[in-house]
């Protein structure tokens, strides 16, 4: 039983770190990028992710509230964050949109 408790504690800690990362990432993004990407507003996502973070801190992982927070965090990370990064150009290191993993794609020319 102790092994299961340790596993659940590690899972809870991972969930707290994941939601904390999403909250910090949402806080450092520009507010106009949310509107440009048509992904609600920055205060909306800060409230949602802040609530998810607090819920993950206060409630055990086996209750339904942390699962709702996890869903909100996943939505931000797989939908909102990539759209905002595409608008702001985050994550690119000077490459163009046609660059592949081994250099620029020239269309077979």
| Band (61; pLDDT cuts 50, 70, 90) | confident
Q: Residue 6 and residue 10: Cα distance in Å, rounded?
A: 6
pTM for the model stands at 0.76
Give the list of residues 6+ apart from residue 41 with CB closer than 8 angstroms, or none. Answer: 31, 34, 35
For residues 44-51, average pLDDT = 96
Sign of torsion, CA 56 60 61 64?
Answer: negative
Q: Which of 32-46, 64-78, 81-95 has the lowest mean pLDDT?
A: 81-95
When computed from its CA atoms, the radius of gyration of the chain, rounded to whole angstroms, is 18
Q: Exposed (0-12), middle (13-18) or buried (19+): which is 61, by Cβ within 10 Å?
A: middle
Share of the chain above pLDDT 70, in %: 82
């Amino acid at each position: 039983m102790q092994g299961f408790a340790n596993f659940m504690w590690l899972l809870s800690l991972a969930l707290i770190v994941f939601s904390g990362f999403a909250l910090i990432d949402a806080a450092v993004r520009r507010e106009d990028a949310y509107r440009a990407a048509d992904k609600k507003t920055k205060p909306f996502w800060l409230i949602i992710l802040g609530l998810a973070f607090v819920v993950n801190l206060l409630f055990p992982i086996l209750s339904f509230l942390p699962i709702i927070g996890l869903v909100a965090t996943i939505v931000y990370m797989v939908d909102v964050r990539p759209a905002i990064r595409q608008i702001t150009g985050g994550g690119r290191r000077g490459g163009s949109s046609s660059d592949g993993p081994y250099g620029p794609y020239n269309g077979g020319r």
